[in-house]
Structure 1
Amino acid sequence: MELEKQAYDFIKQCQLYKAQTNVLVACSGGIDSMVLLDYLVAQKQRLNLTSVAAVHVNHMLRGKESDEDAAFVEAYCEARGIQLFLKAIPIPALVAKEQGNVEAIARRERYRFFEEVMHKEHFATLSLAHHADDQIENVIMALAKGLQQGTQGMPVRRALGNAELVRPFLSSTRQQIENYAAKHQLVYREDSTNNSDEYVRNRLRHHVVPLLRAENPNIAEAVRVFTEQRQQDEAYFQMMAQQVYDEIVILRENNLIDVDVKRFQLQPVALQRRIIQLLLKYLYKDRTIIQSYTLLNRVLDIAKSNVGNELLTLPEGYQIRRNYDKFVIEMAVKTQAEAFSANIQLNEWLTVPNQMRVCVRLISNDLFVENAQTYYANRSDLGQLLQIRTKKDGDRMRPLGMSGTKKVSRIFIDAKIPDTARETWPLLVNEHGDILAVIGLRMSTSFSKTRRATDDVAVMIAPTTYNV
């Protein structure tokens, strides 16, 4: 089936566009988004759309290539009279300032601009060009990593602020998109990294998906049905969990929460997990926190335990007190900070103070962990024994990007870290006492943000509230 019919039938089946809708298309300049833009412009009258415009973000991550992508999209839209909203965002500068994850920061800034444009220009719908093969890859990656949430795949539609995000190509294959581009002689930009097997997604695309398609030529439709059913099942479980949550959870002032343990323990495990997720989402509603599998299980264990009294420390100053028939989530009483010290074991995550986790891992091609800061080094430059400890008077380090040394206390001051947090802030040191990192703030000159030929280990830093 050709893309024109496949996409049109899917759009109508899912009722993705209301009549007289203003549609904004996220356009990177690659084949998928260029085909989507061309398709929606061509089908505007048939779909009864008021207008179709494009939005492009130059992340400034690939230097000249990024600028050429932006210029290409701008020239294409100008030649065809398509309204374009274009913005260059210095993602490298933001990453350096925040010491955060490149992909996460780029996504945050991109969607912030999308929502800004939609609000100011009154667009009801943002259209993305994700297709059926993208969905297959996402599900396989989630299965490989054991991420249950990811097996639901990407939704066909979801809320985006006061507007909506839709994926009209989610039932169309990459081959159908390529055929459309060839048929209509569309020009598009090629990402130089797409052919490399260095990345997990590319390896799946080049080797795994073709094998699945050979076994089942209709694999795209099979995965579409699978993810749709997973999303429907999850919606039902969430509804049931919310009902029980409302019955057994009492929300008090100052984020104090009482939970009826006996009634909680009567629920199926599937609902127990989701009730805990609702609790954590309520507690951290003003934070961009993703609940981790480890944190979820720790809370679940104390809720299911038959021990009379227990205490569990949560991120950001909260704690759970288990008192026989109920447990209470509350702010922990502040006490004088105690020194922290722990050895780092290779390839194992270590939870450290200030709601972070650290892992020193031998380099492999599967290193990427979303929302984790990753730095590369040669193991011989780090030392034989790595340890996490809290600060001592007189601590100094050689920060990455500087030629000399700097007091750790000055690093805290520059980062505006509160005095109370400095006392428990984790430092990465070796057996010689050299400070290799102020975790989450600065790394030493032993590290690089990009992998060098001699690098054989990577240090990853992630929030404790993220499933790694």
Structure 2
Amino acid sequence: MLEAKVASFLNHHSFEIKNKKMVVGVSGGPDSMALLHYLGGQKEKNKLSIVVAHVDHMFRGQESFEDAMFVKNYCEQKDIPFEMARINVPEIIEQTKKNSQVASRQARYGFFEEIMDKYGYNYLALGHHGDDQVETILMRMTRGSSGAARAGIPFLRPFGNGFIFRPFLSLTKEELADYCQKQSLIPRIDPSNKKNIYSRNRFRKEVLPFLKAENQHVHEHFQRFSEDIQNDEILLQELTVQRMNKVMKMSEDNKVTIDIIPFLEVPIPLQRRGIQLILNYLYKVIPVSLSALHIDHVLSLIRHHHPSGTLDLPNGLKVIRSYSLLSFQFEVIEAFPYSFKLSGPGMIELPSGSRIRLDVIDDIENFDIDGDYALFPTDRVKLPIEIRSRKTGDRIKPKGMSGTKKLKDIFIDSKVPIQDRNTWPVITDKNGSILWLPGIKKSIFEGFNHSTSQYILLTYYK
């Protein structure tokens, strides 16, 4: 039954699994174990190449490690290559203050991409199912998402150098649990899935049962809704780009200006998507607090009879109307260049309020660190150390890479907000060689060296 439904779903999407090379993300739970078992059963028939990737997020100590060993043992029995990573997500959360689910997802997907690159495989198979789809769509609509975000989980989407695909979106969680039982699979159960502190779990336990009581095939209708939204969005996005190209007056890294008069001639559905395109371009990473309500406010500013006005959007983005022009730009905070020098042990406080400390140490085995640090052999660094703001043309020789890289590109890759780049500390030695971008990138000069016993320790307190 499951095999037939999956085959029909894949056929509906014109997706052929034959001869595919894929990484399978497996947690050890019912959904991913059902997926692994299903794909494993297709290996010979469809000449699949499979490698399993598992991430221990280290939230549950020995219990989560046992999940990893469970998946590993299954793979050994089935002669399937197995890769795992233990990533200390609680520590990442402590350092970055990220939401636990966001931090976990980023760690997990980062590892999946590494394994895809390692094996040269261009597909990642994940076990999301129809119930997940219903929950996701409801959560996003409740949160105020707009456009393609309302479509929930796509069957196929670009990822890294390949694609993610989800063959189980036509199935329910109950069907997967039944499949596990019939195949004598005894998956691991993560107790956090039952906690009501997560909004998804509340939708799962309180909303989904009501919908299923009304219609046991509700997941099929939500999947159809998802696909309709995605198809509509592809066309609408193409039309939006065409029309917005005619109303754009100016576009820079941190500023976009449009002409209001031709913008008002654009159909309203494309107006909303045009504003969203601008926000996607400027933010790089969309703030969680940004919602459809903000787009409504921008449209109100455009349609208002008053010739001028401003809006404050999340993360310092300003929308400014001046007669027939509307500008989106990050709030400009004047940043003055600075430069401080340290010829020996000491501490410097920077204009941003962060601090840099220099220590000279002889015993690298027993030094204590209470901040972000970099360690340099004294024979590779010429004092004094200079802590300064960035300069045009600055380049660093990144650790683990050959050649140099522009600081501008590193800031972009690291998603450092535009307004922070001119105040970010750049640390150089007497020769002007960039040693370290605290919190972002270390140079080739950093690290242990057996030819010396004395080191310069730089610590960054943000």
Q: With structure 1 as the length reference, what TM-score do the two structures score?
A: 0.67
Matches within 5 A, 1:146-295: 146-148=144-146, 150-197=149-196, 199-253=198-252, 255-285=254-284, 287=285, 289=287, 292-293=290-291, 294-295=293-294
Amino acid of the residue matched to residue 31 of structure 2? D
1:111 corresponds in structure 2 to 109
Q: Which secondary structure does the structure 2 equivalent of 1:44 belong to?
A: helix
Of 35, 49, 73, 1:75 maps to 73
State the distance in 2 between where 1:312 and 1:216 align. Answer: 44
Structure 2 contact 287–314 (Cα < 8 Å) conserved: no
Q: 1:60 aligns with which of 32, 36, 58?
A: 58
1:9 aligns with 2:14: no
Does the CA-based 8 Å contact 1:312-1:321 persist in structure 2?
yes
Q: Deviations over 1:38-78 (max 9, x none)?
A: 100101233x2431111001111111221111111111111
Aligned partners of 1:118 and 1:124 also within 8 Å: yes
Moved more, 33-42 or 237-246: 237-246
Gapped regions of structure 1 (runs ≥ 5): 338-406, 422-468
* 1:333 Cα deviation from its structure 2 partner: 4.9
Q: Report the CA distance between 1:334 and its aligned residue.
A: 3.8
Question: Rg bigger for which structure?
Answer: 2
User: Is the Cα–Cα contact under 8 Å of residues 256 and 330 in structure 1 kept in the other structure?
Assistant: yes
Q: Any idea what the Cα deviations from partners look like across 1:402-453, whole Å, max 9, x if unmatched?
A: xxxxx9999743789x9998xxxxxxxxxxxxxxxxxxxxxxxxxxxxxxxx
Alpha-carbon distance change, 250 to 219 in structure 1, aligned in 2, over 3 angstroms: same
**Cross-structure match for 2:27:** 28
Q: The residue matched to 1:259 in structure 2 has which SS?
A: strand
CA distance, structure 2, for counterparts of residue 317 and residue 221 of structure 1: 41
How far apart are the structure 1 equivalents of 2:289 and 2:142? 19
Equivalent position SS for 1:193: helix
Deviations 1:203-254 (A, max 9, x none): 4333432332232222121111112112222222222211111111133455
Contact 2:253–2:282 (CA under 8 A) maintained in structure 1? no
Cα contact 2:42–2:48 (8 A) shared by 1: no
Retained in 1: the 8 A contact 2:290–2:314?
Answer: no
Secondary structure of 1:25's aligned partner: strand
Paired with 2:240 and 2:322, the residues of 1 have a C-alpha distance of 23
Is the CA contact (8 Å cut-off) linking 1:21 and 1:49 kept in structure 2?
yes
Counterpart position of 2:456: none
Which residue of structure 2 lines up, in the alignment, with residue 91 of structure 1? 89
1:369 equivalent in structure 2 = none
The CA RMSD over aligned residues, in Å, is 3.3
Q: Which range moves more in the overlay, 64-73 or 227-236?
A: 227-236
Aligned mate of 1:51, from 49, 58, 61: 49
Compared CA separation, residues 211 and 284, structure 1 to 2 (3 A): closer
The letter for the 1-side match of 2:27 is S
* CA 1:76–1:302: 2 relative to 1, 3 Å: same
For 2:320 and 2:142, the matched residues in 1 are separated by: 36
Partner residue, 1:122: 120
* Residue type at the aligned position of 1:71: M
CA change 1:40–1:100 in 2 (3 A) is same
Matches within 5 A, 1:277-426: 277-285=276-284, 287=285, 289=287, 292-293=290-291, 294-313=293-312, 319-330=318-329, 332-334=331-333, 412-413=354-355
Amino acid of the residue matched to residue 134 of structure 2? I
Q: Specify the SS of the correspondent of 1:23.
A: strand
In structure 2, the CA distance between the partners of 1:105 and 1:185, relative to structure 1 (3 Å rule), is same
CA distance in structure 2 between the partners assigned to 1:49 and 1:209 by the alignment: 37
- Structure 2 counterpart of 1:111, one-letter code: Y
Kindly provide the CA deviation profile for residues 384-409 of structure 1, in whole angstroms up to 9, marking residues without a partner as x.
Answer: xxxxxxxxxxxxxxxxxxxxxxx999
TM-score using structure 2 length:
0.68
Do the aligned partners of 1:277 and 1:291 also contact (CA within 8 Å) in 2?
no
Residue identity opposite 2:60 in structure 1: R
Aligned partners of 1:36, 1:256: CA distance in 2, in Å? Answer: 45
User: Structure 1 residues 292, 41: closer, same or farther in 2, change over 3 A?
Assistant: same
Cα contact 2:260–2:326 (8 A) shared by 1: yes
Alignment partners' CA distance in 2, 1:170 and 1:254: 38
Cα distance between partner residues in 2 of 1:205 and 1:336: 48
State the AA in 2 paired with 1:130: H
Does 112-121 or 308-317 show the bigger shift?
308-317
